[in-house]
Chains A and B, each alone.
Chain A
């Protein structure tokens, strides 16, 4: 059977997030509770998590999470890694047996910094290029997380089983995002699960977008390689391109990805009208058509965004210390926390939190 990258696999999903507004730490069992509540939205063919601020002792190093099909792949990878990076620590990512999680690959993590000094921007470009190159070139090796002080944990199985497998209750994070996958078909490849991550950005997504090929071709023109052929990968690259290369804020980014309709723009006052027209005219091929709800994690912040027609469900709730996001309200209620307000996120609405300030 063909795996992601060789074939395009549409998928439906459940997504959830806990974001600590004041920086307090939350252990991984809480996010497992949320995603488990939405068990029906997954079909056991993929799940995953991302936690932020989980590696305080290595907070300045890139935390590389790797899947290896075999030891040969691992050895090839490591010989390249040690050539280019100073490796502060490397170890197998701790896991425990779970009956729902079978045929796992070798899962390792490396805390590294590039040997060569570069500017921040150049270093980020180097990291992305190096890891994507490894994924493409080294047979059986796959980097699925590369940010600083954060990490993705994903695989094939139901998300709650994977959370148990990775022993997430032992991690303390300021932000957790989870994903339960319902693909139409899958070869059961661990790399194809979500979140999809690039540097410190991690993204989960629910829905199948109909603009995929238009978005992909634009991305490939500007230098990305959509090797997984998944919507999540394409959306992540678009956000990366818009924010890192074009310097857009997340809010502007949301206005491009889920642009208002022309009929709405025409009703706006001139300043707003010109702003949205400029974005739509010049970045039309970044527009996402079709159903999606996404949650994007990044350093000290989170963004949730719904499609232009509100074709997927996404609920938010918050109290003084915490923001909760989930495909269904039940996932939030299951935490039995007091929340001040609970609301459905509207079409094209971007909910953006940065620690300490609210933007949305």
Chain B
């Protein structure tokens, strides 16, 4: 039944500067703005998701979108949100579906960690004058040194990834986001010498030629995975879980399974693309080993295998199992990680913060002597360069960014990706909307972002007197805690500020 209790979430305010040019009508894929039969410009506020497209495109600056000022009876426990969600389920029935990462107000540990800088006892380094290295290798380290009969070192190496910056792009499938968004990210990855992750929807044939910068994902649905795709990448990622929905599979609704998506996933157009919750060939850790080794056999041991897991309660034991499975890189996705669609309750309540996960995983892998056998990628809510530095100081080798990259492409975080309508041309497969994202401009925005963050990382490192990012890895002396309790400091292995 129709949600008879539904209220408009937003008010769309139009000032008298409006010259009724109609740009807002053209720009809004939701049909909020429309001309009535008398050619009067009208608003259907019920449809507005506050994506800000019309506001940004209004040349007269006549539009403003604000939260509905109407107040329900105040109750701190039964918040408006709680009540509205009940209305939805009572009328429409079903699992509540949301998009992007958790929007809940929960403690962010990054914000409680302060960074260090050199004063007197050792010098800070000026990145404008001295080399400042942000190059990172991801993969197993070869620690058993061997020599030929002349005593010369044998330079044998495991397969690895080489990045100029400690930032990769997170896995987002073609389906969850659009072709031009994929194209923008791949082109930016090439320019910044890092990696684009095709996500679980397979790799579009257009991108096969850029294999040096591509990571493909083997997820439970096995979409678009075959030998030629495995040959067209630099690394293969086995997706076990993602931060936004640990333990949950994925359902790409049929309306998003367009021709281009079907081609990439190698499935019939218009059918639902279902990724089961688990890999049905992985019911135990030794089965993961089996899949890791199958991929290695299929790629003749030339590519590192990444295993991506969501940060959950037992994450340190899980990662130590993964490290022993033959995987070269482990990506840990915190609960703030984004998603094109995730059950609201799962998104907001399952998993643990990435900061605590990385700290405990790094510690555990070291205790077990496995830390040099795997590299760690931290993801899930990395917002800026300071977060990157903190994640690395907590023990990550690199981070990956998804939401931040989409924001750079114009995403305004209306968190309505599951609707399939994205006025910014990102989380949509509608051709008219996709056409709004120019991959050239998108690429440049991402390159600018990565470049800016890299400059900032170099400044922060310089201040610490560190000129190689490898010397920042797990360097928790560079972090100090504020407003954290003893237990939190113990898990993060960080001293309190002033201690």
Using a CB–CB cutoff of 8 Å, the interface residues on chain A facing chain B are 8, 10-12, 184, 207-215, 217-218, 220-222, 246-248, 252, 259, 261-263, 274-275, 278, 280-285, 287-291, 308-309, 311
Q: By the criterion CB–CB under 8 Å, are B131 and A289 in contact?
A: no
How many A-B Cβ pairs are below 8 Å? 110
Nearest residue, chain A, Cβ from B495: A8
Given A281-B137, A290-B465, 12 other A-B residues pairs in contact with their CB atoms under 8 A? A11-B121, A184-B121, A210-B475, A213-B474, A217-B366, A246-B145, A247-B147, A282-B157, A283-B141, A285-B471, A290-B122, A290-B466
| B155 interfacial contact with A, CB 8 Å | yes
Nearest residue, chain A, Cβ from B124: A210
Nearest residue, chain A, Cβ from B474: A217
CA distance A12 to B122 in the complex (A): 9
CB within 8 Å of A: which B101-139 residues: 118, 121-123, 125, 130-131, 133, 135, 137
Name, among A217, A252, A280, A308, the residue most crowded by chain B CB atoms within 10 Å (CB to CB).
Answer: A217
CB distance from A221 to the nearest CB of B (A): 4
Q: By the criterion CB–CB under 8 Å, are B141 and A214 in contact?
A: no
Kindly list chain A residues whose C-beta atoms are within 8 Å of the C-beta of B143.
246, 282-283
Partner of A248, one of B145, B466, B477: B145
Q: By the criterion CB–CB under 8 Å, are B142 and A282 in contact?
A: yes
Partner of A214, one of B121, B135, B147, B474: B474
Name, among B130, B142, B372, B464, the residue most crowded by chain A CB atoms within 10 Å (CB to CB).
Answer: B372
Q: Which 9 A-B pairs have the closest CB atoms?
A: A211-B471, A289-B471, A284-B470, A210-B465, A208-B122, A10-B121, A213-B477, A213-B475, A278-B155
Name, among B141, B155, B470, B477, the residue most crowded by chain A CB atoms within 10 Å (CB to CB).
Answer: B470
| B170 interfacial contact with A, CB 8 Å | no
Q: Count of B residues near A, CB < 8 Å?
A: 38
Partner of B123, one of A247, A262, A291: A291
Between A and B, 7 residue pairs with Cβ closer than 8 Å are A8-B477, A213-B476, A214-B472, A214-B475, A217-B371, A252-B153, A289-B467
Kindly list chain A residues whose C-beta atoms are within 8 Å of the C-beta of B160.
281
Partner of A275, one of B155, B367, B473: B155
Kindly list chain A residues whose C-beta atoms are within 8 Å of the C-beta of B133.
261-262
Q: By the criterion CB–CB under 8 Å, are A247 and B145 in contact?
A: yes
CB distance from B101 to the nearest CB of A (A): 30
Q: By the criterion CB–CB under 8 Å, are B471 and A261 in contact?
A: no
CA distance A208 to B120 in the complex (A): 10
Partner of A287, one of B130, B155, B157, B468: B468
CB distance from B105 to the nearest CB of A (A): 32
- Once A211-B475, A214-B471 are accepted as A-B contacts, the answer to whether A289 and B465 lie under 8 Å apart by CB is yes
